[in-house]
Chain A
Amino acid sequence: MKLQSLESNMSSGRKLFRLGNTINSIDAAKRTLVLSDPILRCCLTVANLSRALYFICDNVLWARNIGLVRDINKERWSLNATRYYFVSLVMNLTRDVYMMAQLMVQRSRDRCYQQKLHQHLNENPDVACVVVPQLDALVFLLIECLKSNPAVALDTVKNLCDLFSPLDRLGVYQTNAGVVGFCGLLSSLLGILSVLKPQLKIKP
């Protein structure tokens, strides 16, 4: 009971804290509209607009919690907020996958990397390498790219962790409060890390 009351307190405190974030998201959407890459431009602008809509729903829910507005359907607004949040997460993940693919293509063309790959494939006596060398090469490339681009890796993990909460609430993939809580905590810690170390923040 104590923890539930603390959680609801923190939640309503966060809602108040986020009252200005709609404008932040619209501003971010305006900035991503001028990106040169069309796929990044599409993904990020849609993600930011969706996030802005999520914040608007969140602000209305805060007003309802406080008692400033009384006659609104809390369930409907909450569901809409979750849907918009889900769309923005999916768009962000698409952008992560696209960036990772671009990095992998770039890396595979690099001569030093090709030497490394050759060395790895020849040295390793595992059965799997011999049977499916292409898969092993792909996994090796993926791991190399993730290691050399921590910002993209961090953002991908963060978005994946964030995804569990709307998936559970929308009923698409129901887990339980434990999984949602753990993933939420992990993604918050990763978010704090990207604020503390600006080089870990993904750009654009």
Chain B
Amino acid sequence: METWVRFNSQSQAKERLCRAAQYACTLLGYTLQKGGAGADLLMTVKQLESHMSLTRKLMRLGNSAEAVESAKRAVHLSDSVLRLCITVAHLNKAMYFACDNVLWAGKTGLLPKLDQDKWSQRSFRYYLFALILSLTRDAYEIGLLMERESRCCGSAKASLSSTPVALTPENGDLPTTPSSSASPSPPPLLIPTIPSLPMLSLRLRKQVRLLAVVLRSNPPLLLDLLKNLCDIVIPLDRLGLYPTGNGFVGACGLASSVLSILTILHPWLKLKP
């Protein structure tokens, strides 16, 4: 199995390039249509796009086995949420690739009586589930990192506020009210009130800032999140759940392909596990 995975990974980079080219054709076709180009040119671009799509299906003929192998590896992860998300995402991807292989057989004429629309919808559904699980995993990792970051920040702030008291013991003042110099301490018994709007916006701004800090210090996570967000547009459009149009789908597909080419060129940018 290891040999097959190593052998197969050599063609994955070319498959990513083909994907980028395919979605660039989608975007180009949309732009040309809006710009009022001739039917001949549009036909050529459409033919090129379908040729790239068929070739990619040929290149991906072995990916089902690879996805099952990745799922087998993910079953041994220690964190239960990550274990669930990643394993189920890989299994869904394996099903997506299996449907994709069947579609390839149908398109090349091996299975002429195949209902291509049905299998296409099926494959997009599996792809959508896999993407939802990947996004859940991203959200979970972001949540963990934000919690860790806020704890670090909180403990750092607490140590900073306690140092002025420790520095002046000869005053004889007991540190009963350490924050008396800073701000008036709140009353001990608080009646639970609905937080006001400025407080909510302050809290929201703090969370957004924390999110920005976490994402900036974790480029693999940021890349994976952006890639999954771009990718999810495609099945949402193709399944008719949130139609956006060929132009937007092409742009998002192209962006996610470029990001995945970046992770191949710079392996440290790949999110692990």
CB within 8 Å of B: which residues of A? 1-2, 5-6, 9-10, 12-13, 16-17, 20, 66-68, 192, 195-196
**Which listed residue (B3, B7, B58, B59) contacts A9, Cβ 8 A?**
B58
Partner of B54, one of A1, A2, A13, A67: A13
Chain B positions 117-173 with a Cβ under 8 Å from a chain A Cβ: none
Q: Is the CB of A12 within 8 A of B108?
A: no
B52: which of A2, A16, A68 is its contact (CB, 8 Å)? A16
Alpha-carbon gap, A6 to B112, bound state (A): 12
Chain B residues within 8 Å of A, Cβ to Cβ: 3, 7, 10-11, 14, 18, 43-44, 47-48, 51-52, 54-55, 58-59, 108-110, 112
B109 is contacted by which of A5, A13, A67 (Cβ under 8 Å)?
A5
Q: A6, A20, A66: which contacts B110 (Cβ < 8 A)?
A: A6
Q: A6-B108, A9-B58 are in contact. Are A68 and B14 (CB under 8 A)?
A: no
Residue of chain A at shortest CB distance from B51 = A66
Docked pose: A195 CA to B18 CA in angstroms: 23
CB atoms of B58 and A10 under 8 A apart: yes
| Beta-carbon nearest neighbor of B4 in chain A | A196
Out of A1, A17, A68, name the residue touching B44 (CB < 8 Å): A68
User: In the complex, A67 Cα to B47 Cα: how many Å?
Assistant: 8
Contact A66 B109 (CB under 8 A): no
In Å, the complex CA distance between A66 and B48 comes to 6
| In the bound complex, CA of A17 to CA of B16 (Å) | 11
If A9-B54, A66-B51, A68-B44 touch, whether A17 touches B59 (CB-CB below 8 Å) is yes
Query: Does the CB pair A67–B14 fall under 8 Å?
Result: no
The docked-state distance in angstroms from the alpha carbon of A67 to that of B55 is: 16
Chain A residues contacting B110 (CB-CB under 8 Å) are: 2, 6
Determine if A17 and B48 form an interchain contact, defined as CB atoms under 8 angstroms apart. no
Contacts A5-B109, A66-B51 known; A196 to B7 CB distance under 8 Å? yes
Secondary structure dominating the interface of A: helix
Chain B residue at smallest Cβ distance from A8: B108
Are A195 and B54 CB-contacts (below 8 A) given A2-B109, A17-B14, A67-B44?
no
5 A-B pairs with least C-beta separation: A13-B55, A5-B109, A13-B58, A9-B108, A16-B55
A20 contacts across to B, CB distance below 8 A: 14
Query: Would you list 17 pairs from A and B whose C-beta atoms are within 8 A, ordered by A residue?
Result: A1-B109, A2-B109, A2-B110, A5-B109, A6-B109, A6-B110, A9-B54, A9-B109, A10-B58, A16-B18, A16-B52, A17-B55, A67-B43, A67-B44, A67-B48, A68-B44, A196-B7
On whether the beta carbons of B51 and A16 are closer than 8 Å, the reply is: yes
The smallest C-beta distance from A200 to any residue of chain B, in angstroms, reads 13
Distance from A199 Cβ to chain B, minimum over Cβ atoms (Å):
14
When chains A and B are docked, how far (Å) is the Cα of A9 from the Cα of B55?
8
Residues of chain B contacted by A6 (CB below 8 angstroms): 108-110
Please name all residues of chain A whose beta carbon is closer than 8 Å to the beta carbon of B59 when the two chains form the complex: 13, 17
Smallest CB separation, B66 vs chain A (Å): 16
Bound complex: CA A20 to CA B18 (Å)? 12
CB nearest neighbor in B for A17: B14
Using A17-B14, A195-B7 as known contacts, list a sample of 5 further A-B pairs with CB atoms less than 8 Å apart, ordered by residue number in A.
A16-B18, A20-B14, A66-B51, A67-B47, A196-B3
How far does the alpha carbon of A20 sit from the alpha carbon of B16 in the complex, in Å?
14
Check A12–B51 contact: CB distance below 8 A: yes
Give CA–CA (A12, B59) in the complex, Å.
12
CB distance from A65 to the nearest CB of B (A): 8
Partner of A68, one of B48, B55, B58: B48
| Contact (Cβ within 8 A) A12 B55 | yes
Residue of B nearest to A69 (CB): B44
Complex Cα distance, B43 from A6, in Å, reads: 23
User: Which residues on the B side are within 8 Å of A67 (C-beta)?
Assistant: 43-44, 47-48
Minimal beta-carbon separation of B44 from chain A (angstroms): 5
Minimum CB distance partner of B43 in chain A:
A67
> In the bound complex, what is the Cα–Cα distance between A10 and B109 (angstroms)?
12
